[in-house]
A and B are shown apart, each in its own frame.
Chain A
Amino acid sequence: MNEIQGRIKTFLSKFFASHDLQVDEDIFGLGFVNSMFAMQLVLFVEQEFHIDIENEDLEFENFRTINSIAKLVERKTAILVQ
């Protein structure tokens, strides 16, 4: 698990109780996702990694797993660097 994945896992662990969330585990499939969670996840990613989640990022695949969120962060960060 890389550093970005670790930070995402730390945030998500609050919502997934004692479950040891794996990097490729479908968080929508675990049944904990509600609207409050979705908004908090967006705010967390924006604040923690200094990026903006926008219209074009609204794909469930971008938020489905720790890994997919980390890839979204890496993609957005790379765009910022350019």
Chain B
Amino acid sequence: MKLELSAQQKNYQAGFRAFVNQEICPDASEWDRKEFTPPELIKKVAEQGFLGVILPQEYGGKGMDIITYGILNEEIGRGCSSVRSLLTVHNMVSYALCKWGNKFQKGYWLPKLASGEIIAAFALSEPNVGSDAKSVETTATLTGDTYVLNGEKKWITYGQIADVFLVFAKCGGKPTAFLVEKNSPGLSIKPMFGILGTRASMVAKLQFDNCQVSLENLVGKLGFGFSYIASSALDYGRYSVAWGCVGIAQACLEACIKYTNERQQFGVYLKEHQLIRQKITQMITNVKAARLLCYQAGYLKDINDPTSITETSIAKYFASTVATKVANDTVQIHGGNGCSSEYPVERYLRDSKIMEIIEGSTQIQEITIAESGYQDYLFSSFNTDLIKIY
């Protein structure tokens, strides 16, 4: 076993870090306050190829390996969770199309997605439907040579600026995925404001009133929308979010190292207080553990291992709960300053909480991971021996 980044991955990491330090960190808090991501920044992200990272080169993508994609998510997440969420949703749609789209859809959409010529968003959640995603109330009806969509989507990340949405609706009771372009007749987009975290992610509501979608925009087949198309996209989303959480926690750790090295109380630097050192130790350990789980999930994804699905859930579960804890401790260490927007750490705390809710809440992960545990421990040959022992 060798657990080390390749020279190429290290080079990418250094490049990502430099980009984030220069283009994202200085302004991320301002974007958060304004609840807005500047188009110039998105253009720079696209020029770097970050919007086509996971797509094959034949479609204009970078064709990067999944570990490098993870590292990119960590670095962007370290700077701004909103911008990282752009990578997440755009690449979720790109991946779903690359995996499940037909030849025409791949040839038409993927080059545009890879270059960032168009931005994609993932439209699953609804006012009445969150964790119970299979119960979407949006409907699609085949009328002549078009599908007609009716319903509402909510909390759609970057919905305000997306050019195309991967929308999930019930067609004859069967969960089905559709590509819906922003200018489709019958689609209206309303911005949402005042969200707790990832405030610059330009969240929107989508209203479908007899929205017409052409037959060629059906993705996959009727009835496969949730169990295959949405699920594979969400798996990639969880992977991206897990790494993004490592980025938040790393940003918190770096902020605390700096702050406790500069601020004095009771005549000594904060870092000299043992209770501070305890928190720093917990942060260092938890960040490393979360990153290792992400590496593990990435490695399994790289070899197409079926256990990668559960391992990605475990990585997301651990990294998101760690991010919340680390961010909470970071605000505590910063005291009054931590409660002020003069420091980025209050943003890290608000953003981390969002990470425990999106792409499968902490509680949903607890259900699925436990279920997987029972399968592993009760029915594998290894654990049949284990059960006999006890």
Contacts and interface: CB of A to CB of B under 8 A. Distances in A.
Interface of A: 11, 13-15, 17-18, 33-36, 38-44, 46-47, 54-56, 58-60
The DSSP consensus for interface residues of chain B is helix
A82 B337 CA distance: 67
Contacts of B220: 55, 58
A36 B365 CA distance: 11
A38 B228 contact: yes
A14 B379 contact: yes
B378 A17 contact: yes
Interface of B: 99-102, 134, 220-221, 223-224, 226-228, 230-232, 235, 303-310, 313, 368, 371-372, 375-376, 378-380
Contacts of B102: 55-56
B226 A40 contact: no
Nearest to A33: B227
Nearest to B232: A39
The DSSP consensus for interface residues of chain A is helix
Shortest 5 CB-CB distances between A and B: which pairs? A35-B231, A40-B306, A38-B227, A43-B306, A44-B306
Nearest to A47: B304
Given A14-B375, A17-B378, A36-B368, A58 B228 contact: yes
A40 B309 contact: yes
B231 A55 contact: no
Contact of A55 (B101, B303, B308): B101
B101 A35 contact: no
Contact of B380 (A14, A17, A18, A55): A14
